[in-house]
């Protein structure tokens, strides 16, 4: 619960306008989705675990409603239903508050935060992935953060391929995911040692999972299954494009970003900015999402957290003055 008054409100508005202007320049159409919708929509869109963090209540007829915990679910349904006849690709952007329950004293404490987001629906491949990465980079640099941000990228299929190769039961797969996510090297070592297949070793070098092209080279030394190799190829191609755009010093490859495996199907990204203790944005490719609403097609997008960005920039202004 946060008030923005005077200069802070103006700063927040400027950040929002800057992001929306960049989206508009790249031909993204603004979309305004309902703040309140049936809970089922969000469960289909986000999966049960995430949707349950939404604030839920009942309608007159007893049906379960929710304050939207994300915008992507609504946009995906819109694309699959209302706009099913429109020619692809679809490009949409939004600036909209979302609402989630948060654990007490958690660093991501905001129950309400405004997402500046975009969705590119109906197109696959590097061009689309690269487009959203460039958009994110462009917004951050127009906010004068060009020296202070890092965007990490990963392809979740690298993990999925290894997990499939090791033939893990669901509980084991979740354990492996958690150990990689939190970089628990000693426990991870013990887990991997239990398998004769060496591919899991790719995730062992906790201090070398983040970096530039060399990360991919190291991973290729142990990973040979075709699913992961295809993902590594795809990530490497994307990296080459990032290099040729001169953005390599603002991007990092992070093979341990496996926090939302059930949601993303390829590229995943996180945005970090100096001065914020948690990530200020995230996104990726979710080709499985629109299928939940009756029309499967590729989709990629990201969101930036307006309130977190405002806090960082407001503090920066105070420090300067």
Partner 1 sequence: MITIAIAKGRMQDDALALLARAGVRLDEDARNSRRLALDDESGRYRFIFVKPADVPVYVEHGIADCGVVGRDVLLESQADLLLPLDLGIARCRMVVAAPDAEIMTRSLGMLRVATKYSQIAAAHFGSRGIPVEIIQLSGSVELAPALGLADLIVDLVETGRTLRENGLTVVEEIVESTGRLVVNRASYQLKTESITELVKALEAVVNGGPPA
Report the interface residues with partner 1, using CB under 8 A: 103, 105-108, 150, 152, 182-187, 206-207, 210-211, 252, 254, 270, 272-274, 276-279
Distance CA 30, CA 262 (A): 27
Q: Which is nearer to partner 1, 91 or 270 (CB)?
A: 270
> Helix, strand, or coil here: 301?
strand
> Which residue's CB is nearer to partner 1, number 65 or number 150?
150
Cβ contacts of 186 within 8 Å, gap of 6 or more: none
Shortest spacing between CB 318 and partner 1, in angstroms: 17
Q: How far is the CB of 68 from partner 1 (least distance, A)?
A: 23
**Is the torsion defined by CA of 207, 213, 214, 216 positive or negative?**
positive
Residue 96 or 306 with smaller CB distance to partner 1: 306
Give the N- to C-terminal CA distance of the chain in Å, as an integer. Answer: 27
Shortest distance, CB of residue 182 to partner 1, whole angstroms? 5
Supply the minimum distance, in Å, between the C-beta of residue 78 and partner 1: 32
Distance CA 142, CA 146 (A): 8
Using the structure block, give the residue that is written with the tokens 């496996």: 258
Task: Kindly tell me which of 80 and 151 has the beta carbon lying closer to partner 1.
Answer: 151
Nearer CB in complex with partner 1: 181/287: 181
Residue 123 C-beta: closest distance to partner 1, Å: 28
Tell me how far, at minimum, the Cβ of 108 lies from partner 1, in Å: 8
Name the residue nearer to partner 1 (CB basis): 44 or 210.
Answer: 210
Non-local (6+) Cβ contacts of 80 within 8 A are 290, 293, 294, 295, 297
Q: Closest separation between CB of residue 70 and partner 1, Å?
A: 19
* Least distance between partner 1 and beta carbon 117 (Å): 20
The DSSP code sequence of 15-78 is: HHHHHHHHHHHTTPEE----SEEEHHHHHHHH-HHHHTTS-EEE-TTS-EEEE-S-SHHHHHHH
Name the residue nearer to partner 1 (CB basis): 1 or 107.
Answer: 107
Which residues on neighbouring strands pair with residue 268, listed in sequence order?
Answer: 154, 284
Tokens of 303: 């969101």
| Comparison of 66 and 253: residue with beta carbon closer to partner 1 | 253
| Residue 153 · residue 268 · CB < 8 Å | yes
The rounded distance, in Å, linking the Cα atoms of 209 and 10 is 40
What are the residues whose beta carbons fall under 8 Å from the beta carbon of 190, sequence distance 6 or more? none
């Amino acid at each position: 619960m946060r008030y923005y008054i005077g200069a802070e409100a103006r700063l927040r508005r400027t950040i929002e306008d800057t992001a929306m202007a960049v989206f508009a320049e790249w031909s993204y159409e603004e979309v305004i989705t309902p703040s309140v919708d049936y809970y089922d929509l969000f469960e289909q869109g986000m999966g049960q675990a995430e949707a349950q963090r939404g604030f839920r209540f009942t309608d007159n007829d007893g049906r379960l409603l929710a304050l939207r915990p994300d915008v992507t679910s609504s946009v995906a349904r819109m694309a699959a239903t209302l706009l099913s006849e429109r020619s692809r690709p679809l490009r949409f952007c939004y600036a909209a508050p979302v609402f989630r329950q948060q654990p007490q004293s958690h660093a991501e404490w905001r129950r309400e935060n405004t997402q500046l987001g975009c969705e590119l629906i109906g197109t696959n491949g590097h061009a689309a992935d690269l487009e959203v990465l460039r958009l994110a980079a462009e917004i951050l640099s127009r906010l004068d953060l060009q020296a202070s941000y890092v965007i990490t990228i990963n392809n979740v299929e690298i993990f999925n391929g290894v997990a499939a190769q090791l033939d893990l039961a669901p509980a084991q797969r979740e354990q492996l995911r958690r150990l990689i996510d939190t970089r628990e090297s000693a426990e991870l070592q013990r887990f991997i040692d239990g398998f004769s297949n060496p591919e899991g070793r790719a995730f062992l070098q906790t201090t070398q999972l983040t970096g530039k092209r060399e990360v991919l080279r190291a991973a290729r030394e142990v990973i040979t299954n075709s699913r992961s190799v295809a993902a590594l190829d795809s990530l490497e191609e994307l990296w080459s494009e990032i290099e040729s755009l001169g953005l390599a010093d603002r991007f990092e490859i992070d093979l341990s970003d496996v926090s939302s495996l059930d949601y993303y199907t390829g590229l995943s990204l996180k945005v970090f900015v100096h001065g914020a203790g948690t990530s200020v944005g995230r996104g990726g490719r979710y080709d499985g999402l629109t299928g939940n609403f009756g029309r499967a097609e590729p989709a990629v997008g990201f969101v930036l957290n307006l309130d977190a960005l405002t806090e960082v920039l407001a503090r920066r202004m105070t420090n300067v003055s």
